[in-house]
Amino acid sequence: MLDDRQVRRNRADAGFDVIMGDRLHSPTRQVFGYRHWWMGRTYEALWPLANAWSACCTLASLDDHAGVAEVLPLLLRGLPAYHPDGPAVLTGSGAVGFNSTLATTPGGGGDVYFDDNAWLGLALVRHHELVQRNELVRHHQLPGDADPLALAGRLFDFVVSGWSYDDGWAVPGGIRWKADPANRSRNTCANGPAAALAVRLHHLTGDPTLLDWAVRIYSWTRSALLGPDGLYADRISPDGDVVDTRWTYNQGTMIGAGVLLADAIGDPSYLHHARATAAAAMDHFTLDRLVDDNPQAFNAVYFRNLALLDRAVPDPSYAAVAAAYDDVMWDHRVRWTGLFPGDGSPLNRTAPMVQIDALLAGAQPHP
């Protein structure tokens, strides 16, 4: 009989085969797009791509997985499709933000979101670490002179360009949700991953300004969006109106940022914050709420950051709830396609489950 880790590993491998299969991935354009037999493909947005990238990196950290090692350079080759500069964007300089949808199709491009680019930056940092540490990944050539770490740094420079300097806004500061000047909301989903990305980049580059940014973003998010129940609200407007919807990924990013800051600065108060948020989240997000109220992509961010906290302060309850959630979702997947249920992007329903299974199989988490 297979032990639990092997069961989860088998599920992760099966999910990886699904997301990289012809139904979800276009080998000619090297981007993800759901194939309809009657009308071609519906190409995926940047947010699902970032989640698939994180899933592949998480799975790759388990061992020398040849299939994932081959895929990571393909993801870099496909990424320029989300920027009007095309392949030149990979080796350019200066701040860069990718569009939310393919920029290389007629009428494409869409808005440019600060949170999308922060998620992508976190995946690229993990990609960089795999290239450095894993000989199998290193031996698969990256396109041109593309450097995942340098690109992640340029993404961060773009993300912090969304910081609000208007002193007339309630709780001045914070990163806005998207680059359109008409957008005035500052969301946890933009600030939490940006704080974590800043710490990760600081760890790899030693740049002290990155740690300053991490503290600044993290502190603002706590002051503006942490509710009396110990959970983070969704967003705040310039007039101070708070949309207090509780999502799993917002709790996850702030848990992860707290863990990273505690390690980077040596201040245990950040770890205390992370543990308090995790305790409140574990009480609030019952299994039913995880399944019914939060999509798979949100829950993958939540569980991978709980896994980061578990490594700092072990608590088996974090993995236990992830396993219970995984079992429910696995039983409800569409057997003939391998896709997981839900609305919206097929990739964003399935790639996050690859990540959750890989984590449960013992993979290294990233924020």
pLDDT for position 322 = 98
Work out the angle at residue 188's Cα, subtended by the Cα atoms of residues 182 and 193, and round it to the nearest 5 degrees.
105
Of residues 199, 196, 215, the one with CA closest to residue 207: 199
pLDDT for position 67 = 78
How far are the Cα atoms of 109, 161, 245, 260, 289 from residue 95, in angstroms, in the given order? 18, 9, 31, 24, 38
- Spatial separation of the C-alpha atoms in residues 291 and 293, rounded to whole Å: 6
What does DSSP say about strands 235-236 and 242-243: parallel, antiparallel, or unpaired? antiparallel
Q: In CATH, what class is 4-360?
A: mainly alpha
pLDDT for position 37 = 67
* In the chain, domain spans: 4-360
pLDDT for position 140 = 66
Taking residues 74-81, what's their average pLDDT?
A: 93
Q: Is the dihedral of CA 62, 66, 71, 77 positive or negative?
A: positive
Residue 132: pLDDT band (50, 70, 90) is confident
Q: Starting from the edge strand earliest in sequence, which strands make up the sheet with 25-26, in order?
A: 25-26, 31-36, 40-43
Taking residues 168-193, what's their average pLDDT?
A: 97
Please indicate whether residue 197 or residue 107 has the higher confidence score (pLDDT). Answer: 197
Question: What residue has token string 């002193």?
Answer: 167
18 has pLDDT over 80: yes
Residue 29: pLDDT band (50, 70, 90) is confident
Predicted confidence (pLDDT) per residue in 313-359, tens digit = 999 999 999 999 999 999 999 999 999 999 889 999 999 999 999 99
Q: Is the dihedral of CA 330, 116, 128, 210 positive or negative?
A: negative
pLDDT for position 136 = 57
135 has pLDDT over 80: no
Residue 38: pLDDT band (50, 70, 90) is low
* Helix, strand, or coil (residue 138): helix
- Spatial separation of the C-alpha atoms in residues 285 and 317, rounded to whole Å: 13
Provide DSSP, 252-279: HHHHHHHHHHHHHH--HHHHHHHHHHHH
Q: At what angle do helices 208-225 and 188-205 cross, to 10 degrees?
A: 160
Predicted confidence (pLDDT) per residue in 282-325, tens digit = 999 999 999 999 999 999 999 999 999 999 999 999 999 999 99
Distance of CA 367 to the CA centre of its chain: 7
pLDDT for position 64 = 60
Of residues 360, 263, 266, the one with CA closest to residue 307: 360
Report the amino acid identity of residue 243.
Answer: V
Q: At what angle do helices 248-265 and 268-284 cross, to 10 degrees?
A: 160
